[in-house]
A and B are shown apart, each in its own frame.
Chain A
């Protein structure tokens, strides 16, 4: 079975459909470093999902190439290629007639792994995605939407693929559960370190999840590919600026934590931890009608302070 993360390169990747004007994906070139999350974000129908599906060849390239660790996807056996790529979709697509354990064991079973091995692996993965081991014998219909997507994630990870493709995985889930799943996924990613291509139309999700964000404009053209910070602070053009929204300055504040700032001497005021984002710190001050925030370390000791003006600077 495949192993650690791989580098993924889109090299002028292009998809055209016969009889349709313009390309769905137009000369897309970008490199996702091994172990990084690349978020493809952009307006609906803009070609993000098409670009994603070019990687596991659910859609075939018309032109250009996509390489995994230097090896073109076009030269690989279709079935072997897909078994080596984790695939998570919005509608989850769990197999309704299989137990959760069997669903998670899908790819190992295709690899011919023995039954006890699969059982153990399923249990590990259930744990990894934060589900109780008792879920193993249930059927998908007995789970909530959020739980199903956790299983979808576990199934995609079961073959230990170096690359994960995630197509709006949290798009159909209510906001509260979505936030929880995003956090769980980021936590998970710190452990498994896969190369991830993640499609969403939600810029906030992109900022939160992505190591890098690729903003795709309608017609499958790459508008900007950079870190969330750069995209927010230096949008490449008007399209990107408009897409990230008029509140991009505020959004950018959520990328910084208090630990990155120069603190004043300890003072009285509402308390915020070093790990708090600047955006949350400002929100707290506004809500408490305060001007100074007392910054505390992880033991709760006040180690400094920061004013509203300094936060905004």
Chain B
């Protein structure tokens, strides 16, 4: 496994007293390494998660279309996404590396496969939960099948779909910290660097805190979007 090497830490000799004494949290270290370590790691982390969620959402949506339209296809899709979800990420990396190499692709395949279960299940459940009388009224009013889907079923499934997106987003941001097992990207890096050194903890607290903050902010953004897209839910 290729654990990325970070800057040399602790910085013996030239650091602040906090750094020299391995204090629990050194703000001056954070200030010093924001530009060369933390900020790039944050941006990489956002990129890792965004790609995984975007692709995962697209795949789950296509699968949900098929699984919703053809009920017989739903159980196999469900079982496969369940199965993918249960594979430990480290094991999945081991399996993928011979095929996809030490690459971003390997990481994204793993991250995407963890989003599928949550996104797919929520989409299917949301679409199925549309009341039969509403569908009956739509058909009786002269909606085409496509119009029934786009104007009735999909909007009514939106709260469930977005709830799935929230869970998938938060968990992907969290899981993406294992990326450094394969490539030197994301907020997992400073955490790994600190784990391997075993004394200086500031990186763990800072990077870990940033992961949590990022997850909360992303969750908050989706909540705001959800509220503006589904005003009837609170009516």
- Point out residues on A near B: beta carbons under 8 Å: 56, 58, 79-85, 87, 89-98, 106-107, 110, 138-139, 141-142, 152, 155, 165
Contact = CB atoms under 8 A, between A and B. Distances in A.
Interface residues of B, number: 22
Interface string B194-235: 000000000000000000000000000000000000111001
B84 interface: no
B142 A107 contact: yes
Given A138-B235, A139-B235, A141-B235, A107 B141 contact: yes
Contacts of A84: 142
Given A93-B136, A110-B147, 6 more contacts: A82-B141, A85-B140, A97-B155, A107-B141, A110-B142, A139-B232
Contact of B136 (A58, A85, A141): A58
A91 B155 CA distance: 20
Contacts of B137: 87, 89, 92-95, 152
Contact of A89 (B140, B142, B147): B140
Contact of A96 (B136, B139, B141, B232): B232
A106 B141 CA distance: 8
A97 B142 contact: no
B142 A95 contact: no
B20 interface: no
B134 interface: yes
11 contacts: A80-B142, A90-B133, A92-B133, A93-B137, A94-B137, A95-B156, A97-B232, A107-B141, A110-B142, A110-B143, A138-B235
Nearest to A158: B141
A95 B134 contact: yes
A92 B131 CA distance: 11
B138 interface: yes
A91 B138 CA distance: 13
A56 to B, nearest CB: 6
A173 to B, nearest CB: 15
Contacts, number: 72
A142 B155 CA distance: 19
A299 to B, nearest CB: 47
A58 B230 contact: no
Contacts of A87: 137, 140-141
B45 to A, nearest CB: 35
Nearest to A87: B140
Given A82-B141, A83-B142, A93 B133 contact: yes
A308 B25 CA distance: 99
Nearest to B155: A97
Interface in B110-164: 131, 133-144, 147, 152, 155-156, 158
Contacts of A155: 141
B51 to A, nearest CB: 31
Contacts of A165: 140
A87 B133 CA distance: 12
Contacts of A97: 152, 155-156, 158, 230, 232
Nearest to A77: B142
Contacts of A142: 235
Contacts of A141: 232, 235
B142 A79 contact: yes
A139 B156 CA distance: 13
A94 B152 CA distance: 10
Contacts of A93: 131, 133-138, 140
Contacts of B141: 82-83, 87, 106-107, 110, 155
A138 B235 CA distance: 8
B139 A82 contact: yes
B138 A95 contact: yes
A151 B141 CA distance: 14
A56 B232 contact: no
Contacts of B143: 79, 110
A138 B147 CA distance: 23
